[in-house]
């Protein structure tokens, strides 16, 4: 009773689904959840969404993961492009359910373009522009002082040689 025959149908014509049962999401629960510590895994970008959730937080760990999945893509720049696109196309913004697919499709498209990303191995800049400008000014002042010392020395030697030649 209730056994399924070799044809896949029971005696009553019922064919069970081969797909696993998926519980529908709870209406109060967010469709995505950030389970990470915000201090250890900070949010570095927020992509605007339409619907209940205002934005999708992109964390530092996601950036690292996407860099390994899409090595030919400048992930940070493409996320800025996605944010700009969502802001410019508010009626076409993605929902919380579709944002990960959107990100994946966007990054795949960029990866397939085959560009090579220039990876900077330099240490992060710890000097701001004002400090850099101040250092350049100091170096110019030192160079000017050195030129003045050399000019004065030359003029003294020239006048000494002129005095000796005159005698």
Q: What's phi and psi for 132, nearest 5 deg?
A: -65, -45
Q: How confident is the model at residue 14 (pLDDT cuts 50, 70, 90)?
A: low
CA distance 74 to 77: 6
Regarding pTM above 0.75, the answer is no
List pLDDT tens digits, range 55-82.
999 999 999 999 999 999 999 999 999 9
pLDDT of residue 41: 83
Q: Per-residue confidence at 101, pLDDT binned at 50, 70, 90?
A: very high
User: Could you give the dihedral angle defined by the CA atoms of residues 124, 127, 128 and 132, in that order, rounded to the nearest 10 degrees?
Assistant: -130
Residue 45, classed as helix, strand or coil, is strand
Domain boundaries, the chain: 43-112, 128-159
Q: What pLDDT is stored for residue 127 in this prediction?
A: 63
Least Cα distance to 30 among 56, 64, 4 occurs for 56
């Amino acid at each position: 009773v209730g056994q399924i025959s070799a044809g896949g149908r029971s005696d009553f014509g019922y064919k069970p689904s081969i797909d696993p049962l998926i519980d529908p999401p709870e209406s109060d629960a967010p469709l995505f959840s950030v389970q990470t510590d915000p201090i250890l895994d900070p949010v570095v970008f927020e992509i605007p969404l339409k619907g209940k959730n205002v934005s999708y937080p992109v964390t530092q760990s996601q950036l690292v993961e996407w860099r390994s999945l899409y090595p030919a893509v400048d992930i940070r720049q493409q996320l800025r492009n996605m944010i700009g696109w969502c802001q410019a196309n508010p009626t076409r913004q993605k929902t919380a359910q579709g944002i990960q697919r959107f990100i994946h499709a966007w990054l795949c498209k960029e990866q397939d373009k085959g560009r090579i990303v220039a990876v900077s191995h330099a240490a992060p800049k710890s000097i701001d522009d004002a400090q850099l400008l101040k250092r350049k000014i100091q170096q110019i002042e030192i160079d000017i002082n050195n030129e003045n010392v050399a000019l004065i020395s030359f003029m003294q030697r020239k006048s000494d040689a002129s005095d000796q030649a005159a005698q």
